[in-house]
């Protein structure tokens, strides 16, 4: 049983608002000092699901991520949790890739791996919250897709997947190989063990570049992006309090209703 888990390293979602800063061009977040980036929490749950399947069915878990050298930190976190191997996809031409380009890069890397029974992604990334890569990946590879998976197991030559919906859940049977995006209903992921951290720290993370995996130059990077970031900004919130008075409570109530009506609330 060979499972591939696609992960992403992001800025810690728990960064205090006071530490959040934007670059002068208004198009990127400045990493705060002393707060390292982390594995995307939804991807961490995808790793957890892979580990649960491995505990039942055996096999190997391979972690894939795209990023600079520092992104290997997220790979080693997954290895410390119990994954077997990790691969860093790194190339200057990957910079600025949108969801479509990211899926193209991952697709070519997965095709290089060749043998796999399941591909797992988090339901979305906690930075941009788009939730597109897993679906595009399945389309590129022409594989069945089940999104928002809460659990999965391999039964009678098929993946049996419990999928979350608003008022309950659905059960799907999908042939192998398949692509699943994992939802937070899976539950908290396990913490890396001490021995796992030691073992992961000694692991060599191979780096695959654009040439090695055979990406199409016209489908990766900022030039291939189907959207353009105009500006990032921190919303400014203002509070204003009006004191409504009246000789009697009825007078104050009447004035409040009139004020709400004028503001378009009523």
Q: Are 38 and 165 within 8 A, CB to CB? A: no
* pTM of structure: 0.86
Q: What is the distance between the alpha carbons of residues 131 and 147, in angstroms, rounded to a whole number?
A: 10
Task: Name the packing angle between helices 133-141 and 99-113 (round to 10°).
Answer: 50
> Would you state the pLDDT for residue 247?
83
pLDDT digits (tens, 9 = 90+) for 135-167: 999 999 999 999 999 999 999 999 999 999 999
> Would you state the pLDDT for residue 150?
97
The answer to whether residue 265 scores a pLDDT higher than 80 is: no
Mean pLDDT (whole number) for 14-23: 82
- Closest by CA to 178, choosing from 134, 214, 215, 213, is 134
Domain segments of the chain: what residues? Answer: 2-224, 237-266
* Segment among 65-74, 142-151, 247-256 with least mean pLDDT: 247-256
Better-scored residue on pLDDT, 105 or 27: 105
> Would you state the pLDDT for residue 107?
98
The answer to whether residue 22 scores a pLDDT higher than 90 is: no
> Would you state the pLDDT for residue 44?
97
The answer to whether residue 232 scores a pLDDT higher than 90 is: no
The domain defined by 2-224 folds into Rossmann fold (3.40.50)
Task: Name the packing angle between helices 72-81 and 41-57 (round to 10°).
Answer: 40
């Amino acid at each position: 049983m060979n499972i591939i888990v696609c992960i992403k390293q992001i800025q810690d979602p728990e960064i205090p608002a006071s530490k959040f800063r934007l670059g002068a061009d208004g198009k990127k977040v400045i990493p705060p000092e002393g707060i390292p980036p982390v594995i995307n929490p939804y991807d961490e749950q995808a790793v957890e699901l892979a580990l649960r399947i491995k505990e039942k069915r055996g096999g190997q878990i391979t972690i894939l991520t795209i990023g600079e050298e520092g992104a290997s930190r997220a790979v080693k976190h997954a290895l410390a949790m119990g994954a077997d191997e990790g691969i860093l996809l790194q190339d200057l031409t990957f910079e600025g890739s949108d969801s479509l380009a990211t899926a193209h890069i991952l697709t070519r890397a997965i095709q290089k791996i060749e043998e796999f029974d399941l591909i797992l992604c988090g339901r979305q990334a906690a930075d941009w919250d788009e939730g597109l890569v897993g679906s595009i990946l399945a389309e590129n590879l022409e594989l069945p897709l089940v999104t928002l998976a809460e659990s999965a197991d391999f039964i009678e030559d098929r993946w049996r997947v419990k999928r979350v919906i608003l008022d309950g859940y659905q059960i799907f049977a999908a042939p192998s190989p398949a692509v699943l995006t994992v939802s937070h209903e899976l539950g908290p992921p396990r913490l890396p063990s001490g021995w796992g951290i030691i073992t992961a720290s000694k692991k060599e993370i191979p780096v695959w570049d654009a040439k090695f995996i055979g990406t199409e130059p016209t489908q990766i990077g900022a030039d291939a992006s189907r959207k353009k970031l105009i500006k990032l900004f921190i919303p400014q919130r203002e509070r204003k309090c009006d004191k409504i008075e009246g000789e009697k409570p009825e007078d104050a109530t009447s004035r409040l209703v009139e004020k709400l009506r004028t503001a378009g609330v009523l």
